[in-house]
Amino acid sequence: MKTSDFYYDLPQELIAQTPLERRDSSRLLVLHKTDGAIEHRHFFDILDYLHEGDCLVMNDSRVIPARLLGKRVPSGGAVEVLLLTDKGDGIWECLVKPGRKLHEGAEISFGDGALTATVKEVLETGNRLVQFHYEGIFLEILERLGKMPLPPYIKEELQDGERYQTVYSKVNGSAAAPTAGLHFTKELLAEIAAKGVKLAYVTLHVGLGTFRPVKAEEITEHHMHSEFCMISRETAELLNETKRNHGRIVCVGTTSCRTLESLAEEDGTFSEKSAWTDIFIYPGYHFKAMDALITNFHLPESTLIMLVSAFAGYDHVMNAYQEAVQNRYRFFSFGDAMLIE
């Protein structure tokens, strides 16, 4: 298949710039993958589609305020540093602007010197290995000096950083939010659990590669970025129990899906495990674990719309997206949701 097969026309005004006041008041398009039938609901109606014995799988990764604005030393020129991967010992792989000024050995100061850094190496990708110098706890300094790294299509400032976190986020490490989970409230999760649905958590630290466009003409020529993911023993046991009892595994977001499909055994069973995954799911893929998916609406020609098409069928998904545009759904990170079952 060609990348262009996954293009759809999206009016700019449908790209949600801010979250709704109530997380669970977003709209929900329900797509039945057997026949392509569509229902239009609201997210709080998700209760009607989850059944006793199902297992709802959520990614508990938490976005770190990974965007740092600083100054070059001694010139005072403005720079922007975006943390990508923690390499240990205070060294991070970073995206930097302006790249031409931040060569090996360049010194940077943030927050009037509360945090300083040295560019150690310029990588082949153009990213930098940056050594940070500080006293205290790095994440606490980031909370004070860093900004939330919002996706490039969001132009408005976010007033409350917690709105770009899920209510169950726990493990620091993502550069972007697992956005399908933004629709859940603690109250809604309590109602779901009371219905006899198991709540399970996995961790996948979302990288900025999630926004990287597919440039290859043929989708099979695209190379995925790597992301760290893990499943705990407790979650593995919940998933195996669900499968044994013929319940459904319902993934919240493509990150939960990619974690399960990366770490599942060939027979669909699980054990405690962690790995770096670069799994690329596109039409023709055989799903080992996931039975239903809650997801947002994804960018045209993205690896995520390819994943959704692999699960629900290409024609069903492209038709559902066309219907969502016609019905003025809100798209992308702060947008509306889709349930595929």
In 3D, which of 229, 234, 236 has the Cα closest to residue 205? 229
d(CA 252, CA 58): 5
Q: Please report the pLDDT score of residue 225 as a whole number.
A: 85
Q: Please report the pLDDT score of residue 305 as a whole number.
A: 97
Cα dihedral 253, 259, 265, 268, rounded to 10, equals -10
Cβ proximity of 59 and 205 under 8 Å? no
Q: Among positive and negative, which fits the CA dihedral 312, 316, 321, 325? A: negative
pLDDT tens for the chain, 341 residues: list them: 999 999 999 999 999 999 999 999 999 999 999 999 999 999 999 999 999 999 999 999 999 999 999 999 999 999 999 998 889 999 999 999 998 889 999 999 999 899 999 999 999 889 999 999 999 999 999 999 999 888 888 988 888 989 999 999 999 999 899 999 999 999 999 999 999 999 999 999 998 777 778 999 999 999 898 899 999 999 999 999 999 999 999 999 999 999 999 999 999 999 999 999 999 999 999 999 999 999 999 999 999 999 999 999 999 999 999 999 999 999 999 999 999 99
d(CA 89, CA 92): 9
Q: Please report the pLDDT score of residue 337 as a whole number.
A: 98
Which residues, 6+ apart, have CB-to-CB distance to 230 below 8 Å? 202, 203, 204, 259, 263, 273, 274, 275
Q: Please report the pLDDT score of residue 212 as a whole number.
A: 76
| Other Cβ atoms within 10 Å of 152 Cβ, number | 8
Q: Please report the pLDDT score of residue 239 as a whole number.
A: 98
pTM across the whole model: 0.92
The DSSP call for residue 95 is E
